[in-house]
Structure 1
Amino acid sequence: MGEFDLIERFFKRPARQATVGIGDDCAILQPRPGTQLAISSDMLVEGRHFLSTVNPRHLGHKALAVNLSDLAACGAKPLAFTLALALPRADEAWLGPFSEGLLALADEHGCELIGGDTTQGPLNICITVFGEVPVVNGRSQALLRSGAQAGDDLYVSGTLGDARLALEVFRGTVSVPAPVFDAARLRLEAPTPRVALGQALRGVATSAIDVSDGLLGDLGHVLKQSGVGATVDADIATELIAARAVFTGSEAIKSLEIDQSQWRRWALTGGDDYELLFTAPTAARDAVASAARTSQTLITRIGQIDAAPGVRLIDRNGQTVDNCFLSFDHFL
């Protein structure tokens, strides 16, 4: 099967939102009046971002999900995406479920595949996604990292740390019951982009970012861009590891031989969560709750924004927790 046969069979679809889609040298998008384009690219490299044993359907889903998560963090509505795909070989048994997972998520969010490239080489997936945000009275409604203000509440969507738990099971550093691992593995391999929540937070949140490299690391980007600091309740964040909810008694938790410091580290720095971390004024708590209901997304208030720079961690009793945590860095 040649390159163009591969594209025709697994990825080519009729153009819908694009003026010109797959089949020409360039795709052409026409933004709607009163909107701006939001654009993001992410690359997934085998051995760095995913294991060779991953279900290809899940991989197709995740490849687009991580890009949709960026759009969600900007409050953007997905429009279209391009796919650059390097493959060791044209394996139909792999391409079938990969394209199914990719295009199923694309259809769920009305996001059209409009072009890209394929080549032979080590497995590498690069997607560029395009979304739109409204402009109201000359002002963009995009959520940015730079708007957090002292006194704002700090929120996170969904759960934290389960993807890191799955990775540690793969590495052999911990062992958990099969149902716990299966659920955590799904969070690692097929995350849920919070697209509806991002759009619902337009005009409500003062800043936002998606949690890809760990809660504290990504929070640091917001604080730097906004020129503020934060206090985070480490215990509340740690309770957001969904795997812990399976074990209702302290003895059951202890049976996993995972101490509190490990749980805390995974929640605060684990990465691959693809949840939204955002800030909003205290006066907007009802509006934030409404956004959560509208998007059917769990949100949790985990702290507040401070005028003083830096991140301060506290426990449920307000006592200081030593902040010795490092988040993921591709080059460290």
Structure 2
Amino acid sequence: MTDARTRPPSQADVAALAGVSTQTVSRVANDSTNVDGETRERVLSAMRVLGYRRNSAARALATGRFHMLGVITFDLAAHGNARTVEAVSRAAQAAGYAVTVAGAEEPTEGAVRQAFTRLSGQAVDGIVIVEAQILDRPGLQLPPGVPVVIADGDPEQRFASVDINQAAGARAATTHLLALGHRTVWHVAGPQDSYSARRRAAAWRRTLEDAGAPVPPLLFGDWTAASGYEAGRALAARPEVTAVFAANDHMALGVLRALHEAGRPVPAEVGVVGFDDVAESAYFQPPLTTVHQDFEEVGRQCVALLLEQIATGRSVAGTASLVPPRLVRRASSGPPG
């Protein structure tokens, strides 16, 4: 027989302490709306005092919801992906949901379907897909029944999506360098299969064209500092290069090293701007001017769109939200020497 002093508190214990019925405690535990505010607070207070924990399985049976969100991502090591997953997790936790992550080794339809099925089997209420360049492929279908929100791109707007305004960020970086007096701006772009990289490169090009500035040839990297270093060595060898916009801060770090080794001081001879505003960018030498991305807001909006679909049962496909970035000016950008 279980000792009453050691058994976990029950709904009957909570009801007795709060002075309500066990049915009322059950309604509060299942987030029912037909409980007035004062009574709900009294029950929640009794739960806290007794250390009562809600039975998640029973709650799911009663409400049809599991209070679990899934995330599919292709590269959790990438800064933007990791920050987005972290932001979604924080926002979900604040809303009373847990998060489970399924990695897809490559952005193929089969890998996405496999990850989607895996998460569906874990009884998630909704799924966020991060950096979904797979959606560039027409005709991709995901199994019905689970709400989906895309973080970082859905060009055909088949699903609800939330993203940083990549074009505005690239435009701000390029315009900043042009306004300092540089004749043009060279660009170290991200991988050609990245939706974010393509949008940043397209906005860089349009900004130069709108300003009547020459458009230099693109250099490509793979988001790593090593690839930025290789591009930076090529740029450092060209005396006409006075301004560089790198598509992320890690590649900008590689560019900075290559310019330093070539004896081309930053910003006295070459101005450099990155994109992301990683925590370390303020401590680069020199501190990096960059574009800050508000991943916390991306996470909040992704979760809000999922919860709206979960609560109403209605799709919000086609809803596209763009979170504004901001330019952070530091010492790596200056007028041409």
Normalised-by-shorter TM-score class: under 0.3
Q: TM-score, normalised by structure 1?
A: 0.25
**Structure possessing the higher radius of gyration over alpha carbons:** 2
Q: Which has the higher contact order (CA 8 A, sep 6+)?
A: 1
Q: TM-score, normalised by structure 2?
A: 0.25
Larger proportion of strand: 1
